[in-house]
Chain A
Amino acid sequence: MAGASALGAVSFLPTAGLPFIKTAASQDVKTLVFAAAGTVTSSWDPTSHTVAPQITAEGFIFNRLTNCPMTPEDPSEILPDLAVEWRSVDEFTLEYKLRQGVKFHDGNELTAEDVKATYEYGSDPSRPASAWYPGRVDVEVVDRYTVRLNTEAYGYPALNFWYVSSFLPILSARDIANPDRLRSRPNGTGPFRYSETQGDRIIFEAFDEYYDGKPNIETVVWAYVPDANTRVLGLLNGEYHLTERLEPEQYVSLTGESGITTDRSLSSENKYLHFRCNKPPFDNELVRQAAVAAIDRDQVLQLVAEAGQASDCHISPVKFGYIDVPNYPTFDPARCQELLAAAGYPNGQGLPEIEFITSVGFYPKTREYGELVTAMLQAQGFPVKLTTLEPAAWEEQLYRGSDGQGPGHIIDVGWITGSPEPDLVLRPNYHSDFALINGIDDAELDAALDRQRGAVSIDERLKLLQEETLPMLADKVPAISLFSSVFLRAMSDRVSGVKFYPNGPIDLSKATLS
């Protein structure tokens, strides 16, 4: 992408449109075109996938019981959405009172039956996205606008839904009874209703009866544009109004560009290096500790530049329980050598060849900092070989296979979820029941994760997370979080009133296009 200085160098070109060809920039003030880096799956059922772009698309269509802004200043803040009041009744019961008069896009009114159907359907372990739910849940319909979530039959505290309720879209009970309809046509209560799909474009129309008022923007066009340069050029020529997932250099170029507004927001994603903990050499905790002592995260962050923010924790600063963990690993070559010697590999001698797998073309700068980390580890005697794969090949290598093993020894990945709930990160990654990537099997760590999950009050849980679970992770390092990701976006300065969520969704309900 050309730099800011180059932008001025071509100002000799007249900007009036040729008479026989329409000008590129659209001046329609009712249609917003969003150039998206990803697109949706072939099913509109939100419980059928865990795909981030579709979660963003669902943000236009669906509402949740609550709304968590997920700010680093107050990650635990919860605001009303479809629920206007909520309380903990007892250890296994949460009660939600629903907003009255809310309409689905098909014209039916939202009632407690819809919430019951949604939660019981979505938490069914057979649903592909049931991993987002803490476990199965029974929902009692107290009256037309009151529900109680009950987890007693499944043996875990209902408090686990406290934050997740801001992430799970509420569906219509009638749609859940009709899976074909659920798959083919989303029906939410959100500010925009699904209209149609035209190839790689999805059209959403403003919902006249949205409970918080019909949006000013009449039409949102979701244009799937995989190439980052094309997204930026489309924004600059006025064909797109909003785009996402900028490279750091693009963000810098666009900052200060006339007619463009940039947005830099801390996300709920941390970037990790996972160690395969169920095979040598990283089945040895000392070798993992030595490896993280060899990595200078400050240098990594300098490379990532605008797309990263320092954090010393296995969860993002916008997650409930975040703390800069006092014993979080730091760059310490001398300690690295002590640990290697203690593990029986003085100066790295005797270590097997270590394969470090990373991707290119998905996250910013992964290849660049992959090479840097490889060099840092090699400098301390780790015989590391870097393998860089395009996203499809990398994703195949990411998770452990049916034999419990994953390819390579270190693998780079980000983990993003749309709720302050920390267990959406911690449990799938570090509890031996799941340990989807690193395969850690540590009874002490399992017990700590179970204890914080079993806490019966928010305060107790916060204390357990900050004083036990997160410090234990920093010590056992089945993975190291290198930094917290920052989302880089840009939009036309004709757009105002947009609100971005840290996991990707964009609130356009109050946005205007001048």
Chain B
Amino acid sequence: MRSGAPQGASEHLLLGPFYRLIGMAFAIEFFVRRILQGAVIVFLVSFVIFALLRVVSGDPVRIILGPMASSAAIEETAEQLGLRDPIPIQYGRFVAGVVQGDFGHSFIRGVQGGSTGGSQDSEGLDTDNRAPVFDLIMTALPYTAILAGGGVFLALLIALPIGIFAGRNSGRWPDRFALYVSSLFISLPNIWIGVVLIFLFSTKAGWLPAIGYEGLAYAILPAIVIAIEISPVLIRAISVSVSDNLRAPYFALGLVRGLSSNYMFRAHVLRNSAVPLMNLFGAQVIGMLLGGLFVVEYIFSYPGIGLLTINAIFQRDFPIVQAISILAAVALVLINMFVDFFSSLIDRRLKF
């Protein structure tokens, strides 16, 4: 039997502002602490990426000027770009620019976007004729957002029913089915599945376009590849979480108090199972998503952040790689921060 009006309602009314104050103080303290921690992480990640780019072989100036450029021209341009300064000085200059919102200009890409290296005009390299990195990222970002959103949506569409069904039927055939589906998906390399999907559904059947982007339909096949990559982790997490909650004492207690199994499942199990799922998103799925997007966008020649990054790495276009690394680190920090915050709201026993 359900209880009527909550006991102690008048007490709540009196202490409400106090609790809200406590809650706000917790939120402020939480965000200040996590933003400071996040800033340190972003700083370290950006420095490591910055330094590694300059340590690996492949001189961007050789790519900027082309194979026939003289050693003198190479050195002159490297000096002009500050690439011969010590790494900490280069990094300091870079950070000073970023703080002012200036991510610099691409070494390679012209103002219109598509470009490769191998050109030097008589006055030397004119970086103002190269595309601002921020603009390149802002042009590519909406495409990636569409793909990532579509991928996560499809992954949830696959993982939620299979995972929940498996969790409710632990040890029986739905649980085994979930295991088999997860095992199958996880064993399919995303490069292979991308090529196969293009071949089957675009090349042979002609159902879907696949290469590049000229409309939403172009995002469907790559989003399926993303979904196949991340759904095994989600299926496993959902099924384990649901199963654990069903075995938890509060579930049995609810049944003893006369609440129906379906009510307990809807009202409590699903809510409590969401916490590990959210944590999983912060810790693992977003990372997988970012990695998967690079490969998938390259295979599908999809004009998002992943393709921009891979081409930038091949061309040693340092400013693009640096900016995207920083933005990726910032995104991961922010997502984790919000995931932890909302997890703690759902389950107040959690402290971060």
Contact = CB atoms under 8 A, between A and B. Distances in A.
B315 interface: yes
B109 interface: yes
A22 B209 contact: yes
Contact of B212 (A15, A54, A223): A223
Interface string B43-66: 000000000000011110011011
Interface in A1-22: 1-2, 7, 10-11, 13-18, 21-22
Given A24-B210, A393-B57, A234 B119 contact: no
B62 A395 contact: yes
A17 B58 CA distance: 46
A16 B210 CA distance: 16
Given A41-B116, A42-B109, A17 B207 contact: yes
B205 interface: yes
A393 B114 CA distance: 21
B209 A39 contact: no
A396 B314 CA distance: 12
B186 to A, nearest CB: 23
Interface stretch (A196-204, A310-318, A368-376): A196-204
A428 B208 CA distance: 49
A15 B205 contact: yes
A42 B122 CA distance: 14
- Interface size class of chain A, counting residues whose CB lies under 8 Å from the partner chain: 35 or more
B57 A396 contact: yes
Contacts of B204: 7, 10-11, 13, 15
A133 B31 CA distance: 64
A49 interface: yes
A179 B122 CA distance: 10
Interface stretch (A61-69, A95-103, A384-392): A384-392
Interface stretch (A160-168, A225-233, A442-450, A456-464): A225-233
A402 B71 contact: yes
Contacts of A496: none
A13 B205 contact: yes
B207 A51 contact: no
Most buried by A among B62, B117, B212, B314: B212
A22 B112 CA distance: 29
B56 A393 contact: yes
B199 interface: yes
B37 interface: no
B275 to A, nearest CB: 38
Contacts of A14: 205
A24 B209 contact: yes
Given A15-B204, A25-B206, A50-B67, A41 B119 contact: yes
Interface stretch (B259-267, B296-304, B340-348): B296-304
Contacts of B116: 38-41, 51, 53-54
Contacts of B268: none
Taking residues whose C-beta sits less than 8 angstroms from the other chain, chain B's interface range is: 35 or more
A21 B115 contact: no
Nearest to A401: B71
A128 B314 contact: no
B129 A42 contact: yes
Contact of A21 (B122, B207, B314, B316): B207
A239 interface: yes
Contacts of A200: 113-114, 301, 303
Interface in B297-325: 298-301, 303, 310-311, 314-316
A233 B210 CA distance: 9
Given A10-B204, A239-B210, A201 B122 contact: no
B6 to A, nearest CB: 50
Nearest to B74: A402
A240 B65 contact: no
B110 A42 contact: yes
Interface in B19-49: none
A396 B62 contact: yes
Contacts of A13: 200-201, 204-205
A51 B58 contact: no
A76 B109 CA distance: 38
Interface in B205-245: 205-212, 215, 217, 220
B181 interface: no
Given A15-B204, A48-B119, A389-B57, A202 B299 contact: no
A272 interface: no
B225 to A, nearest CB: 13
Interface string B181-208: 0000000000000010011111111111
B16 interface: no
Nearest to A196: B112
Nearest to A53: B116
B206 A126 contact: no
A147 interface: no
A495 interface: no
B207 A390 contact: no
Interface string A32-44: 0000001111110
B65 A128 contact: yes
A86 interface: no
Interface string A212-233: 0000000000011111011001
Contacts of A129: 68
Given A48-B119, A51-B116, A199 B57 contact: no
B82 interface: no
B203 A233 contact: yes
A50 B301 contact: no
Contact of B120 (A17, A128, A179, A389): A128
Contact of A39 (B114, B139, B303): B114
B75 interface: yes
Nearest to B65: A128
B217 A22 contact: yes
B199 A233 contact: yes
B330 interface: no
A224 B211 CA distance: 11
A10 B199 contact: yes
Contacts of B168: none
A433 to B, nearest CB: 13
Given A227-B299, A229-B195, A393-B58, A51 B206 contact: no
A237 B117 CA distance: 30
Contacts of A17: 206-207
Given A42-B108, A199-B139, A239 B118 contact: no
A284 interface: no
B314 A230 contact: no
Nearest to A48: B119
Given A227-B301, A236-B199, A390-B314, A51 B119 contact: yes
Contact of A199 (B58, B65, B113, B201): B113
A230 B299 contact: yes
Contact of B198 (A11, A51, A233): A233
A233 B195 contact: yes
Contacts of B315: 392
Contacts of B217: 21-22
Contact of B118 (A51, A126, A183, A393): A51
Interface of A: 1-2, 7, 10-11, 13-18, 21-25, 38-43, 45, 48-51, 53-54, 126-129, 131, 179, 183, 196-202, 223-227, 229-230, 233-234, 236-240, 389-393, 395-399, 401-402, 428, 436
13 contacts: A10-B204, A24-B206, A24-B208, A25-B206, A38-B116, A42-B111, A197-B112, A200-B303, A227-B299, A229-B299, A230-B211, A393-B56, A396-B57
State the 3 A-B residue pairs at the shortest beta-carbon distance, nearest first. Answer: A42-B110, A41-B119, A402-B71
